[in-house]
A and B are shown apart, each in its own frame.
Chain A
């Protein structure tokens, strides 16, 4: 049975049918495809915005619908529920779901070759390595606690030696010294701290044993079988978008000021900083969005330290080969 129809019926009952912007663009002959992003519209997704606005997906015969994310939105849920065909996810979460819940997912690519998550502290109270975290207060989003604990153990530190408190996406407690460090995107928060006339230092979890990529491109087995052609086209257009965007990271964010980035509450300077900082984490000798054997092996290895048993067959690199 058709789940979307059901849901629309339900929303019509709720009087909300008219307000649903869902999948409204099926008119053209192009093949429809829906992607679920991991977060709100910011520089993390500039490559896709570039590809959409420059018509790269259309050139590949795709009619792409882009869904923004948010804290309560679990991207994997969107593809399980059939709201989206592919999702950008955190690989530890995705793989844990495959192992623990028997979810039928495949990882077909990766946006960040190196995970941008890092430990950020102030220059006047700097923390340069895991060892220096002992006895300090570290704010971590509860969903990422497991990653931090793995990184600490990999460096011979018991997690109980660090005072871990919840992080609510606002760096104010760090700037005011209520906490000593926080886990966040190193591509983003140091800009904010600089805006508040402070200096930030940071290190990546990746550089201290938590060697996973991030923003995994995830599909369900069913979608992989049914829409392989469209997925390859999506990878191709997305790579082109990212290449175009990263040629000069300061070019595209300002162009999206009144479209993709309108009303997000963030500044364009912030997005330019972000876009510039993420360039080395995204670029890969094998081409952007690549999934190299080396990165797969490192990810499997890092996750095994967290007790998550990843296997090679959870990854499918054959689509990238077709690009």
Chain B
């Protein structure tokens, strides 16, 4: 499965291919045998980890239940996947064609990415009906990843080829059509790979809370009370299989197009010199103000257009009122600040941990492709298995403190960052790799000297993907395991019909995520600017 991230595949030849696949297969079998052994003899958490054979046996008994649930989940996830990604690719193109649109939409983009799904799901269920919440949540889960990938792909082009187009009088659109789109294909496909499990999980989350009858999320909810891990893992594995299939399809397509997309030589003319002067401060301020105002306006329009009563659907003003103008406001503020004080410190640690995990994985996917290939199904599983199903296992293994929170945060954050980084490492031009190879450099030295520095823009893009999601990870852990902080406050507010607080927590979590995101953007501009690299924004 890691073929897409294994850039050397193209050079390896048939024999190399067979050896690598054999290694991957062997490692996969080893993992399976160890898992069976641990499960069969109840060695993990007193038997809370079911053996693969037990999961299969349960699956066979339940086979009659699955088709309708799978069809419903496929429906919601694929509709959301198509809509979300279509919007994402178009938006990515728009942002590249028009820097003004890009800067105006920054607020919306980050907001969409960082709005915690556990906060938006009840709001979608409140405001929409039928399949719509599932489709919207699946689409939202896809949007940012694919949009970011599209923008990265469209901007990280060989500038020389764009010059050729412009030298024949071609405008932005011609450069887009003839150079950028094709050149961006591998990166966009990488984005779709990440978006696929996101869409499945998004649809399942909305099913889980949304009160329909069909869908793997509904099946999971009904099964939770059975204390039957084999059933829960079966559902999670079916979800993983759906996502894995989509992942594999895009990985295969991506592998086909990557070879021909890599520039043949290192780009030497990259640092785009900006014409001096022309930086208009007024325009800048207006753009920043616009990017802050636009999400608020959209939010307001969304609430008003749906005609949902004010009691349920709060406008930005409603949130402000809740926090500052009512008799209950001081109490609400105190609750919120207390929750934030519990949530923020661990979020910072979680960010670092998630990024480190992604980085180590990406590097090792280059150095030890076999190990990574065997690990990929597990990685994918963590992306599609609703955490609620593995919570009993996690709390039994890790307790209900920092370790469980960190684990959940890593599992929520590492995947998109890993894919982005691996993509960056595999896109390093061949000529650049030849230099250290010529000097007999080891694989690790080659990574250190060329691949890692050359993929620095991707490292920053990965950081941007990790940072807002760290907050989501911590909130999920708080909601399901530790009972503290923002996640717990959100869930309690639902029970108290405290709609003001539900919208406030969602808003504050988005604002916090945006703040983290902006910090990364500033650091990114500084570092890449100094190194003469393009920011992949």
Task: Check A-B contact in the complex, CB < 8 A.
Answer: yes
Q: Which of A's residues lie within 8 Å of B, judged by CB?
A: 1, 3, 6-7, 10-11, 14-16, 19-22, 37, 40-42, 67-74, 76-77, 80-81, 83, 93-94, 96-97, 100-103, 141-146, 164-166, 168-173, 175-178, 184, 188-189, 192-193, 195-196, 262-267, 270
B181 at the interface (CB under 8 A from A): no
Q: Is the CB of B135 within 8 A of A6?
A: no
Is residue B48 within 8 Å, beta carbon to beta carbon, of the partner chain? yes
Q: Are the C-beta atoms of A264 and B222 separated by less than 8 Å?
A: yes
Q: Are A20 and B227 in contact (CB under 8 A)?
A: no
Which A-chain residue is minimally distant from B231 (CB atoms)?
A265
Q: What residues on B are CB-neighbors of A70 within 8 Å?
A: 125, 208-212, 218, 221
Q: A143 touching B129 by the CB < 8 A rule?
A: no
Counting chain B CB atoms within 10 Å of each CB, the highest count among A20, A41, A172, A189 belongs to A172
Q: Which residues of B contact A165 (CB under 8 A)?
A: 400, 481-483
Does B496 have its Cβ within 8 Å of any Cβ on chain A? yes
Q: Which residues of B contact A77 (CB under 8 A)?
A: 125-126, 312, 497
B209 touches A73 (CB 8 A): yes
A168 pairs with B132, CB closer than 8 A: no
Q: How far is the CA of A78 from the CA of B223 in the complex (A)?
A: 25
A-B contact sample (17 more), CB < 8 A, given A15-B135, A264-B213: A6-B305, A7-B128, A10-B132, A19-B75, A40-B213, A40-B222, A70-B208, A73-B211, A80-B311, A93-B495, A96-B497, A97-B497, A101-B311, A141-B495, A172-B227, A263-B219, A265-B223
Residue of B nearest to A185 (CB): B225
Cβ contact within 8 Å between B212 and A16:
no
Q: Are B226 and A265 in contact (CB under 8 A)?
A: yes
Compute how far the CA of A102 lies from the CA of B214 in the bound complex, rounded to whole angstroms. 35
Tally of contact residues, B, Cβ under 8 A: 72
Cβ of B532 < 8 Å from any Cβ of A? no
CB-CB under 8 A from A175, the residues of chain B are 227
| Closest B residue by C-beta to A41 | B213
Which residues of the partner chain A approach B311 to less than 8 Å between Cβ atoms? Answer: 80, 101-103
B367 at the interface (CB under 8 A from A): no
Closest to A96 in B: B496
Closest to B310 in A: A80
B396 at the interface (CB under 8 A from A): yes
On chain A, the residues within 8 Å of B391 by CB distance are: 168, 170
* A164, B223: Cα distance in complex, Å: 24
Closest to A263 in B: B65
Q: Which of B184-207 contact A (CB under 8 A)?
A: none
What B residues does A11 contact at CB under 8 A?
128-132
How far is the CB of A181 from the nearest CB of chain B, in Å? 15
Q: List B contacts of A141 (CB < 8 A).
A: 495
Are B392 and A6 in touch, CB under 8 angstroms? no
Contacts of B393 in A (CB 8 A): 172
Q: Are B307 and A1 in contact (CB under 8 A)?
A: yes
Q: How far, in whole Å, are A144 and B225 apart by their CA atoms in the complex?
A: 17
Q: Looking at B130, B306, B308, which has the most chain A CB atoms within 10 Å of its CB? A: B130
Interface centre among A42, A97, A142 (most CB of B within 10 A): A142
Question: In the complex, which residues of chain B have a beta carbon less than 8 angstroms from the beta carbon of A68?
Answer: 211-213
Do A6 and B306 touch across chains, with their CB atoms under 8 A apart? yes
B99 sits at the interface (CB 8 A):
no
Q: In residues 40-78 of chain B, which contact A (Cβ within 8 Å)?
A: 45-48, 65, 68-69, 75
B122 at the interface (CB under 8 A from A): yes
Binds A, one of B259-267, B281-289, B456-464, B486-494: B486-494
Which residue in chain A gives the minimum CB-CB distance to B66?
A263
CA distance A19 to B496 in the complex (A): 31
**How far in angstroms is the closest Cβ of chain B from A165?**
5
Contact, CB under 8 Å: A73 / B497: no
Smallest Cβ distance from B328 to chain A, in angstroms?
Answer: 8
Whether the Cβ atoms of B210 and A72 lie closer than 8 Å is yes
Contact residues of B: prevailing secondary structure: helix
B127 / chain A contacts, CB cutoff of 8 Å: 81
B225:A170 contact, CB within 8 angstroms: yes
Q: Mark B111-147, 1 if CB is under 8 A from A, else 0.
A: 0000000000110011111111001100000000000
* B10 interface contact, C-beta 8 A: no
Q: Mark B471-513, 1 if CB is under 8 A from A, else 0.
A: 0000000011111000010011011111100000000000000
Tell me the complex Cα distance, A10–B130, Å.
12
Once the chains are docked, how many angstroms separate the CA of A220 from the CA of B313? 17
Whether A40 lies near B221 (C-beta < 8 A) is: yes
Q: Are B495 and A103 in contact (CB under 8 A)?
A: no
Chain A CB within 10 A, most for which of B225, B491, B497, B498: B497
Q: Which of B122, B213, B389, B481 contacts A166 (CB 8 A)?
A: B481
Is B164's CB within 8 Å of the partner chain A? no
Closest to B499 in A: A101
Query: Which one of A7, A96, A192 has the greatest number of beta carbons of chain B within 10 Å?
Result: A7
Which residue of the partner chain, among B129, B219, B488, contacts A7 with CB atoms under 8 Å?
B129
Contacts of B45 in A (CB 8 A): 176
Q: Give CA–CA (A210, B420) in the complex, Å.
A: 53
Give chain B residues whose Cβ lies under 8 Å from the Cβ of A16: 79, 130-132, 135
Q: How long is the Cα–Cα vector from A254 to B328 in the complex, in angstroms?
A: 50
A6: chain B residues within 8 A (beta carbon): 305-307
Q: Report how far A73 CA is from B125 CA in the complex, Å.
A: 6
The residues in B between 262 and 321 inclusive whose CB is less than 8 angstroms from any CB of A are 305-309, 311-312
Q: With a CB–CB cut-off of 8 A, which chain B residues contact A103?
A: 311, 497
Q: Is the CB of A81 within 8 A of B308?
A: yes
Residues of A within 8 A of B495 (CB): 93, 141-146
Q: How far is the CA of A173 from the CA of B483 in the complex (A)?
A: 15
Of the candidates A10, A41, A142, A196, the one whose C-beta lies within 8 Å of that of B128 is: A10
Contact partners of A142 in chain B: CB under 8 A: 479, 483, 488, 491-492, 495
A142 to B219, CA, bound (A): 22
Given A3-B307, A3-B308, A263-B68: A192 touches B497 (CB 8 Å cut-off): no
